[in-house]
Structures are given as C-alpha cells and as structure tokens.
With several copies, the nearest count.
Chain A
C-alpha cells in the first residue's frame, strides 16, 4: 500500500480492518501500530526488514492473539500471491506445490488433494477477493490505465482481484502517453474505481526509477517502533500523520523537493556504482 494512502486511512480513522497480503512492511506496521487490524491473511508481518524489531506492535499483536481480538490465517508470500492470482484469473482456487508438510499449512485454509492426472499431491489455495486495494503507479490516465516501471511485485494480481481499486499515481497523464507503449500497461481501465495524483506517494519507501527509500526516516521510525512503551511511536504519528493535514504537508516536513532530489540521486546511484 502506498504510504500516502495508509496515512489517510489512519487520519480518517478506519478501524477493524482485515489485511491480506504476502509481505507487509512499513504500510502494515503503520496499521498494526495504530491498532487498526483485527484479521490477517498474511505471509510476513512485524518485520522492518533489517532495521530492527517493532517491539510495540509485536507486543500488541501478541496480546491481541491471546485475547482473540486478532485472528491470523497463516500463509506465505507465494501462497498469498497465488491467492490473489487465482482471483485475478477468475478462478476459485489455484494449485501450488509449496506449503505442504509445514505448520503453516495447518494454520492456513489450504487443502491438499491428489492431482487427478498425475497422482501427485498438490495444495489448493482459495482465491482471495479483497474489498479494497490501493497501489501506487508511475503513471495513469484519467480512465485508470496504469503503467509501472520495473518489477511488478504483486501489483498485477492484487489490483485485479480487489472489489474496489484505488490508484495513486506519481502523475496523471494523457491517454496518448499510455498509447505510446501499451506493453508498459499493467492495469487496464476497467479494473479501476478511482485515480488520485499523489506525487512521491510512496515516500519514505522506494519508487523504482524515481526515488530511493529514505533510510534516515526509516531508521528514525524503526527506533520509535522499537520502544515497547509506545511513547516514541505516539510522537512519530503525531508529528507525521495526525499532526499533518495531508501528504503534501508531510512531505514538506520531511524535506520536500530537496529530499526527493537527494533520493533520486541515490536511486540512480549517482557518483556510485
């Protein structure tokens, strides 16, 4: 999820959300920190990759698991990707050859059958149709034709499998721009419910080709997230989310265009191979 979108979800006070995904990093942690999640279909949470352990959110998750206020369905990045893909293919399930033999199989909703052609065992994972998906793209036209540069990660299938799809885009472009190279289009218009222009909408995370992640900001967040008391996080969110009226104000607080220009240079490895 684009950080700009998550900020707004926090600001607008959405609660009692289910979250379905493979790996969730900063976006997922933001929602967990703020106690907005009651249900997870997930492959990876509570990791700040290599920046530290989000102790506050972890404690919250553990406590809520114990009281039953949070329910987790265990999956893996692959099986979640394929659950989205099943939905995006218009299928009720997909067969997969991972997950078998593990406890994650037991704590998931997957089933195992024998392949009727070969007799080998395969795991079936059910399609997942999220109510809402929001992804951030490099460019989109006003109809919702979206182009993404570089790797696609899970965006192709997640976008196609959601009942409501919100696009945030670095730039809204004329359809003529899209038509210049339709093979760069990842999501065609008929999936899209809303298109919102949000420059730098992925900041402080990485937007391939445009700006690298802001390691300083992430380290500062990670430090706050590591404070088990929650006090440091409270300050972080007051400073950056609840105390700002929108993403523009947040960007300004974070150094605005100047910072983005620095991150653009890092992204392109200027002065470094």
Chain B
C-alpha cells in the first residue's frame, strides 16, 4: 500500500472512473456511479457525455449532484430535457454506458434493489426499488455496476429481479423482449473488478484490488465465478484522483464520507 490514505469509496470510484472511455455517453445513478463519472470527466475522459435521468445532458463539471434531478445536472448544460426525453434517448440506444448500484447481484448480472426476503408480500426488508435502473440496464449498450462484495449481495438467486442483467443466460434478454447485444459489462467492488464471459454471459474475475486474494473473492461470492487467464491488480488511487474527488467533486463529502465509517 502507498502512503496515501483513502477509503474504499474513494478507491472504487477511482478505479471505476478509469474504465469510462472518453467520448462515450454515460447514464449514471446517484451516489458512487455519479462520483466515478464526475471523476472520469475531470481526469481521464474529458469528452465523456453525462445524461441524467431528470433531463440534464452534458453539464459543465461542477459539484456532485445529490440526486438525478439536482440542478447541478444542468449546470451550464448543453441540453435541459425531461425524464421521458432522457429515457427515450436511451431507448433509442444513445447511451454507451449505464452505471448503477444494487443490493443483490447474480452471476448473470441481474440486480435486486426491491426487497430482501423470500415472500414478496412479507418482505424482511423493503428497499427503494428500481428508480431508473431498470431502464438504464435495459437500454444502455454496456452496464457498469458498483456494489459491496459479500455473500448476501453476490448470490445464486436474488430475492427479486428489479433490473435485467443477462436474465437466465445467453439469449435471455432477447427471449424476454429486450434489445439484443446489450447487457452488464463490469462490476466494481471493494475487492475486485469483474466482467462477463462473452459466451456464457457469466460473471468473471478480471482483476483484484491491492492486498485482496482470489480466495477472498471466492469466499465472499455466493455463486461460482469464472476467472480470466491473467488476473491483474488494479492501481491505487493517484494523488490527483484523490485531490479531485475531495476538492472538486465532493467537497462536502456527502458520498465520500460513507466510506469513512468502515475504515477510520
């Protein structure tokens, strides 16, 4: 580990931001996804185009929006649209990337953000639900997912599928009536980065965060993982990434502070 001190949210946001290619169009959800997209735009991918759910398109980089309808999503924006307009652009295939969180995920990248518990009508815990995640993952060509990594979250069978991944595997999306050639692309956790094996559509370990072992990942994953031939290690956040996150993107530490509790 370097001498830089950072929490796991700062780390996850830094890593994820590096995978957002310049010039692409990204539809990002509230929280860490927006954090990562904002960081990418400031450092790695200045021409990344951000579309927000309530209609903001390509705002100038400013402070982190605290919701999808925050006026920071239209700060000097090139386009102030509406929610249906945003979703309709996505439905046409405008978004290269969706970037989402979730409470549970399975090996095909299906997400649950609706409830915990075996019986829909008697939930152990009722969660907020889809928001715009279902549309984002249905329409974007590639979906990035960011979430905490443990056996309650990486599960064989989620309690509820809120947001489609590859559904029941290859061809699943097409059989259900979703547009073809799209789906989950990468998953970022506090342990590792995963992608999806192209033929089987199953989740695959791609790289580790520094200090994390493959065994640890297996131990925290509730389904059988696939593995890349060469599992690499992600680089730690740079000083510049941390500075931008802390000073420019989230100076109030609204999202960043959620990583503090765990580690400090």
Contacts and interface: CB of A to CB of B under 8 A. Distances in A.
B58 interface: yes
B132 A179 contact: no
Nearest to B34: A50
B163 A81 contact: no
A156 B82 contact: yes
A197 B217 CA distance: 57
B126 A61 contact: yes
Contacts of B167: 101
A232 B138 CA distance: 40
Contacts of B83: 22, 77-78, 81, 152-154
Contacts of A99: 134, 138
B66 A50 contact: yes
Contact of B126 (A65, A180, A273): A65
A103 B161 contact: yes
A255 interface: no
Contact of B91 (A90, A145, A185, A206): A90
A122 interface: yes
Given A44-B129, A104-B114, A215 B254 contact: yes
B80 A182 contact: yes
A112 interface: yes
A152 B71 CA distance: 11
A121 B177 contact: yes
Q: Give the size category of A's interface with B.
A: 35 or more
Interface in B111-170: 114, 120-135, 138-139, 160-164, 167
Contacts of B70: 206, 213
B114 A206 contact: no
A75 B162 CA distance: 9
A145 B76 CA distance: 13
B138 A90 contact: no
Interface of B: 25, 30-31, 49, 52-58, 60, 62-63, 66-71, 73-85, 87-94, 114, 120-135, 138-139, 160-164, 167, 172-173, 175-179, 248, 251-252, 254-255, 258
